[in-house]
Amino acid sequence: NYTAGPLALSHGAPIDLHENCFDQINSHIKMKLSVTAITLFFLIAYPISGQVNDTNLKKIETGNWLELSVKQVNDQGEEMPFVASVDEMPKYPRGFNALAKFIIKNLEYPKSAIEDNIEGRVLTSFIVNSRGQVDKIKVIEGVRNDLDSTCIQTLNKMPDWSPVTNRNIENISFQFYLPIRFLLQDPKRKK
């Protein structure tokens, strides 16, 4: 017996998102799941403005709680001036809501981190080339190996994105930044 929010997992198994509801707290959406005595919170939407020292990052309006930032890079990963519009960039299949659901379904809060009472924010990065292929997935700012590797494993399962729609930017790749926050919200488990 549990109540769940959009990023809920029960013992590693995703919970049907259609039964879930959002609680808006401090302009972020926190997702709740009560499993026995533990309440787990995953917070994927977490602003990274000012947390990554890069003035050329552009925030993408996703229309939901998922927060992505992006910059344009060449094939060697070197930053380029931003020439594409959001409409021309590669897109996750079926949109950002589908990307959010993909992460919800595939992301697991590692049992070792729960047992050790570990929380934190993992800032991930990945490159999507003009053909929509996902590459160079990495952790920019990690917490500890089990949380970091869980994020990498989840993003490695991502399907290819749709290719760019403007032939003038076919040789440009896009580096996306996605923060994923792990938070245990049971006062009894806090040290």
**Beta bridge pairs of residue 184:** 40
Dist. CA 118–CA 182, nearest whole Å:
8
One-letter identity of residue 29 = I
Q: What is the pLDDT of residues 66-80, one digit of tens each?
A: 667 778 787 777 777
Angle at alpha carbon of residue 131, lines to 142 and 70, rounded to 5°: 40
Of 31 and 134, which is predicted with more confidence? 134
Secondary structure E strands in the chain: 9-10, 13-14, 23-25, 28-35, 38-43, 58-60, 68-73, 120-128, 134-141, 173-184
- How much is the pTM? 0.65
Say if CB 103 and CB 86 are below 8 A apart.
no
The two structure tokens encoding residue 71: 């910059």
Distance CA 21, CA 29 (A): 10
pLDDT tens digit sequence for 78-120: 777 776 666 678 889 988 888 888 888 898 889 999 999 998 8
Q: Per-residue pLDDT averaged across 163-190, rounded?
A: 75
